[in-house]
Amino acid sequence: MKGVISVVGEDHVGIIAGICTLLAESNVNVLDISQSITDGLFHMMMIVDMAQSDDEFHSLDMKLTECGKQLGVQVKLQSDTIFRSMHRI
């Protein structure tokens, strides 16, 4: 299953590192990253492959939420299907 991780928050050192470390520990493969900073606000979207992950969707979601709190950013994990359904015919 592919997931989309979206991150929003104030930019600072270590956001990508923090999230990628967690993903590596959970055996989640990062397929792609897109990132931008608008008015000092950090936006990132990652597409990840969770097929080999040690975590179920729910537990990975919880871990990412917790990681986001520690990093001071909002992190959300969603199945990629919702975005494909809405934006692609």
Please state the closest distance from residue 50 (CB atom) to other proteins, in A: 11
Strands 2-10 and 29-38: unpaired
Q: Which of 18, 26, 45, 63 binds other proteins (CB under 8 A)?
A: 45
| Position among 13, 14, 39, 88 found at the interface with other proteins (CB under 8 A) | 88
Find the helix packing angle between 15-25 and 57-71, rounded to 10°: 150
Q: What angle do CA 22, 86, 15 make, to 5 degrees?
A: 20
Binding residues for other proteins, rule: CB under 8 A, are 2, 4, 6, 8, 31-32, 34-36, 43-45, 47, 57-58, 61, 76-88
